[in-house]
């Protein structure tokens, strides 16, 4: 936890030093957490929690691309590859896709009338018949778009 306190050389044998090198410019001037503060203690509790220790080994290595893939799905909705578009046509459609994604990319989870969070059951191929629960999101907003581009 010392990294968030602006300490980048550690005593542990596995990670004796942060891999990012010397901080310069804006990175050097950022605000760091002070040890022992309420925020620092809460963060440490979260990172050291049993659930986190259980979940971390399940994460695939490397950066996650799910949000990029979601954006590409939106682009394909507004600018399908099967139709040719002029340069200005594709530019407008890409901008519209970006506006739509920015508006709807972080939607809240839908709830029932009683206020309970909604989920759906999915059966991903990689789980070979096993299931996962997936959050149901609130509906997308299309109200401010021209009718030619809405569903």
At 151 the pLDDT is: 45
In a domain, 151, yes or no: no
Into how many domains does the chain fold?
3
- Same domain, yes or no, for 54 and 89? no
Helix boundaries (H) for 14-86: 26-29, 38-47, 50-55, 66-78
Q: How far is CA 117 from the centre of its chain?
A: 19
pLDDT band at 1 (very low <50, low <70, confident <90, very high): low
- Same domain, yes or no, for 84 and 114? no
Query: What is the pTM (predicted TM-score) of this model?
Result: 0.47
Q: For residue 70, give its domain range.
A: 63-106
**Digit-coded pLDDT (tens) for 11-23:** 777 778 887 778 7
């Amino acid at each position: 936890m010392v990294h968030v306190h602006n300490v980048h050389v550690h005593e542990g044998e596995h990670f004796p030093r942060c891999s990012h090198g010397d901080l310069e410019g804006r990175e050097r001037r950022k605000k760091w957490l002070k040890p022992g503060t309420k925020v620092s203690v809460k963060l440490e509790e979260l990172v050291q929690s049993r659930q986190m220790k259980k979940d971390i080994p399940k994460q695939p290595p490397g950066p996650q691309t799910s949000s990029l893939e979601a954006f590409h799905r939106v682009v394909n909705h507004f600018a399908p590859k099967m139709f040719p578009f002029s340069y200005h046509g594709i530019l407008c459609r890409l901008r519209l896709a970006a506006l739509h994604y920015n508006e709807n990319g972080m939607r809240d989870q839908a709830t029932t009338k009683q206020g309970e969070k909604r989920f759906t059951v999915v059966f991903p191929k990689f789980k070979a018949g096993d299931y996962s629960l997936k959050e149901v999101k609130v509906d997308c907003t299309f109200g401010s778009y021209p009718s030619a581009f809405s569903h």
